[in-house]
Structure 1
Amino acid sequence: MTCQGEEGTPLPYTASPIRLLWGDLCLFVSLIGHLPGIFIPLHLCRTGPLDEFYPSVHNIFIVAVHLLLAVYQLSFLISLPLMVLCMVPAWWILAYLAIGLGLSYGAVMLFLNGFEQVLVSKVPVAERPGHERERWLYINGIAAGHRWVQMNIDQLSYTFGRRVTGVHNRTAGILFDLIECLIQRDFSFATSDIRRSYALVKKALLDPECDKVVLLLHSQGGIEGGLVIDWLLDELPHDLLRHLEVYTFGNAANHFNNPRWTKLARPESVQTPDLVHQFGQSIGHIEHYANAGDIVALGGVLHFVDIPNRYMGRLFVRPNSGHLLNMHYLSTMFTLGPDMKVLESNPFMDMEVEPWATAGINGFSGPPQRVRYRPTVARDEAFLPAALSLQRFQPNGTHRVLRVKDFSRLWQYRNGGSPRECRPTDQYDH
């Protein structure tokens, strides 16, 4: 059974689920050397109270529970085929399976998850006029219990100066979470948190009192958010979907859809309406942020982004490792100061943007002070011209260096700010 498509490219996400599963297992084995990149760099002495590995009693307890669960679940999974090989009666195996899964479920619910399915940020933020017409939603990744999800949405709230609602993608333990990721990604199976997220996003988009919906996704949340988007594209018209913005971190999905559309622009005002069109993409804006040494991103967005029309949205790659949302993504890309406001400068946002080289994403070998950026018509035609209007023609004739912060729309939301909106045709005026 092959784990690749034509010409050595990854299988299309609509391929046989069994072939997709085999392909993902092959991909994981090939990336196994990057596994430590999930947790490092640790830098425990630099962590803050909202970081996942901040050495507090609660976080130490959570890590200990995860380690014990990993040992228990691995032993449980190994024991099942051994029982079959030893010809243990079927009803004994079923009883063992029920007891084993029941103990695991009880432990994660008691020690990690709690029973809240939707959480809201609790930190004080001074929302600005107009923020009441925005909805900010977040879906977490694997191994995130109640406390870590609350920490995630609290840091997101500080970072962007908005109230953030989190749909809790409950953890079942690291190993069982990985199995769930494979089921969601390869079989397009919608778990209860995906259905709940879809209902909340759709309700917000249909709300006449809401002008903008911002969906934030991390890790496995990228898989879930991708399935939510597939459903939304099936049901909602472009004039509603354009109010949706999606921002992902360490995205684990194998595809991210955002089809392009065209239509005539004000035919009554032109003599040749068939030659004048408005065109863009269904969802207003999509951006992906990834660490180059993050195994989840390497098996997700960074693995599939080279395939045309497979992974829509602008991609920013930081040449470092780490997978935890607060500790490795937000704290390095949207660094908070002592006053819990985003600093106006950090090494990632100050990186120079250079044209994409032949090495591609997975072959990134550039100097650490630069980030490679490849504009493509499929992903970036709605954003690129306005960004490039910043270029090269300064009043004194000097060349302007473009940096990540010049391209990142999410950066403009820091500390309660908002991007400058433009007319649909403005993007083609440059």
Structure 2
Amino acid sequence: MAASVNVYHSLPRDLGEQKIITEAVRPIPLGSVLRKDGPARAIKDKLRRLDVRKPDYYTGPPWKLLFDDIVLFMKNAIFLPGIVFPLWSRDTARSFTLENNIYDRSGFVISRLSRRVEAFAQKYYHSGPLDELYPSLPNIRDITFHAILFIAQGTFLLSLPFLSFLSFNILTAYIIGFVTLNYFVCYALNGWMPYGYIQSTDFPEAAQWDQEHPNEQWIFLNGVAVGKHWLRSNINRISLTFHRRVTGVHNKTSGIIFDVIQCLLERCLYFGTSDTRACFAIISEALLKPQNDRVVLILHSQGGIEGSIILDWLINQHPRDILQKLEIYTFGNASNHFNNPRTHKKEHNGEEHDPHGRAIRHIEHYANSMDFVSRWGVMNFKQKTADQKDRAVLMNLNAGLLSHRTEAKKHLSKKQIKENNKLQKAWNSYAGALFVRPGSGHQFNQHYLDNMFPLDKSLTRVQQNGDGSPLPGTFMAAEVNIFNDRKQVARLRNLKDGQYENEHHAEHHGINGDVSVKQVYQLSRLWSYVNGKSPEDF
């Protein structure tokens, strides 16, 4: 039986609200307001207190965010091998038939040897050649390029302090020369993609869906170290899983080390790259098409960072009815925030779980518990927002009105300013449910989709029971532990002095867990899309 899966929901900010009272500021002496047509008139200081909302964590100073990211990196460094391990499935994967038979003697020696290796490897890779670490020639080529880039970039960065004594012109030429060489090497990985995106292969299942339901558009944004070959493998795996045609927007790789540096710039400086802007343009166009009722965005790894920035831009530029078309699903998300503001003033009527009250109706995150990137991103920041601790800091502010004609100013004490700059990861925005699978691995196809949406022998459909439920022992069939269950949170709002208004609710005082035990697939909206299906509710 599969191990239980933890599901996290952020605790609403208005629950557990506490005040941190600072010393009152001595009121600033007020002068008088000089009127144009009369003598000075005394003004009383009526503004005695003003509550200040503490800013979200991700809006903090870049140096503070960078320091926290480095500390978080060190704390989770032991999980770095979890990015690539396991290299293959520990249990024998479902066997599938290769087009080239193992006993085929035609071709060169290398071709025959390659077929033998692939025939053996099929036992340990669920998606065959689509898996990133499957020993096919294109995969081996990409892995070799990344290994060379990793060594070269590491050597380059380590050499900079020792070469700093050289003249500025020589050092500059050295840096420019290496970056230029790195670009051309990465071009072999990224390939030629003039529009910045590619389409998935026209599988028969996806073509049939286009004929029956042409009102959907699926978009994928990849993560770190993904070239054109792996991007195509990713979108083809998505297409085979959900029977949709998928557009893959290419977040081009610059090598693993340079990609990680780019992640830090995006997370700490809120920096939008050209790939981020290209994806934003594609999503905006898809949302604005009248024929599209749904736009599904799937993000992986660094794509989660860029997706969080894109989401902020979309919320800023599009009205509510347009945003309601969008659904977002992330895997191994590396972002430090995920916004989804309310579209109207909240009513305390127990409708906390109503998706219509948010800009984006559906957001879900999937993570492996021992995946370093997930622990550095979604698991850390989402679980912080799920902690049942103080959610807000309300500051005591004594402000004075300094009047010089119509100019108004506010005054904060140094202590208040310092207190307000103490960012807390628990006071952050991270919308969407988080599903944490016990296990490791960060590769999109091999470690996420293979374990969460396993394909059958034909590699064309997700394995299911006759009633559409997942097979026993799989991730989607596992039981769940729910943290901050939204229905229980709604009940908690009715608490008065530790007791429910209605006595028959007295046995439900917690917000963790649910009355009935659920399985992952019953909570996962993404599961309702497998094999060409569609959710009943929109």
- TMscore range, shorter length: 0.7 to 0.9
Identify the residue that residue 327 of structure 1 maps to in structure 2: 446
Identify the residue that residue 378 of structure 2 maps to in structure 1: 301
Residue-by-residue CA offset, 1:132-156 (whole Å, 9 max, x unaligned) = 1111000000000000000000000
Give 1:81-100 correspondences, 5 Å limit: 81-84=161-164, 87-100=165-178
Match among 213, 229, 243 for residue 147 of structure 1:
229
Bigger CA radius of gyration: 2
Residue-by-residue CA offset, 1:313-342 (whole Å, 9 max, x unaligned) = 011110111000000000110111122200
Match among 414, 417, 421 for residue 530 of structure 2:
414
Residue-by-residue CA offset, 1:298-325 (whole Å, 9 max, x unaligned) = 0111000122552100111101110000
Taking only the aligned residue pairs, the percentage that are identical comes to 45
Identify the residue that residue 125 of structure 1 maps to in structure 2: 204
**1:402 deviation in Å?**
1.3
Residue 343 (structure 1) aligned with residue 463 (structure 2): yes
Residue-by-residue CA offset, 1:102-152 (whole Å, 9 max, x unaligned) = 11111010x200121211001413233553111100000000000000000
TM-score, normalized by length of structure 2? 0.65
Give 1:14-413 correspondences, 5 Å limit: 14-43=59-88, 45=121, 46-47=124-125, 48-84=128-164, 87-109=165-187, 111-116=188-193, 117-126=196-205, 127-128=208-209, 129-262=211-344, 280-305=357-382, 306-307=384-385, 310-339=429-458, 340-344=460-464, 345-346=470-471, 347-356=474-483, 374-376=484-486, 401-413=517-529
What secondary structure does 2:169 align onto? helix
Counterpart of 2:178 in structure 1: which amino acid?
G
Counterpart of 1:50 in structure 2: which amino acid?
L
Q: Against the structure 1 CA distance between its residues 380 and 222, is the aligned structure 2 distance closer, same or farther, given a 3 Å change threshold?
A: farther
Q: 1:420 and 1:238 mapped to 2: Cα distance?
A: 22
What secondary structure does 1:251 align onto? coil
**1:236 deviation in Å?**
0.8
What secondary structure does 1:132 align onto? coil
Q: CA RMSD in A?
A: 2.5
Q: Against the structure 1 CA distance between its residues 107 and 378, is the aligned structure 2 distance closer, same or farther, given a 3 Å change threshold?
A: farther
Q: 2:65 and 2:516 mapped to 1: Cα distance?
A: 45
Q: Is the 8 A contact 1:125 1:158 kept in 2?
A: no
Q: Is the 8 A contact 1:131 1:162 kept in 2?
A: no
Q: Which of structure 1's runs of 4+ aligned residues deviate more than 6 A?
A: 377-381
Deviates more, 1:122-131 or 1:155-164: 122-131
Per chain length, whose mean CA-contact separation is higher, i.e. which structure has more relative contact order (CA < 8 Å, sep 6+)?
2
TM-score, normalized by length of structure 1? 0.81
Q: Against the structure 1 CA distance between its residues 400 and 189, is the aligned structure 2 distance closer, same or farther, given a 3 Å change threshold?
A: closer
Q: 1:192 and 1:264 mapped to 2: Cα distance?
A: 37
Q: Against the structure 1 CA distance between its residues 130 and 202, is the aligned structure 2 distance closer, same or farther, given a 3 Å change threshold?
A: farther
Q: Which runs of 5+ in 2 are unaligned?
A: 1-19, 21-54, 90-120, 348-353, 386-426, 465-469, 492-514
Q: Is the 8 A contact 2:84 2:442 kept in 1?
A: yes
**1:21 deviation in Å?**
1.2
Residue-by-residue CA offset, 1:214-251 (whole Å, 9 max, x unaligned) = 00000000001110000011111111111100000000
Q: 1:98 and 1:264 mapped to 2: Cα distance?
A: 54
What secondary structure does 1:71 align onto? helix
Q: Is the 8 A contact 1:39 1:323 kept in 2?
A: yes
What secondary structure does 1:165 align onto? strand
Counterpart of 1:160 in structure 2: which amino acid?
F
Q: 1:58 and 1:247 mapped to 2: Cα distance?
A: 28
Q: 1:211 and 1:309 mapped to 2: Cα distance?
A: 31
What secondary structure does 1:184 align onto? helix
Counterpart of 1:336 in structure 2: which amino acid?
L
Q: Against the structure 1 CA distance between its residues 380 and 260, is the aligned structure 2 distance closer, same or farther, given a 3 Å change threshold?
A: farther
Residue-by-residue CA offset, 1:73-96 (whole Å, 9 max, x unaligned) = 000011111111xx2000000000
Q: Give aligned pairs, total.
A: 367
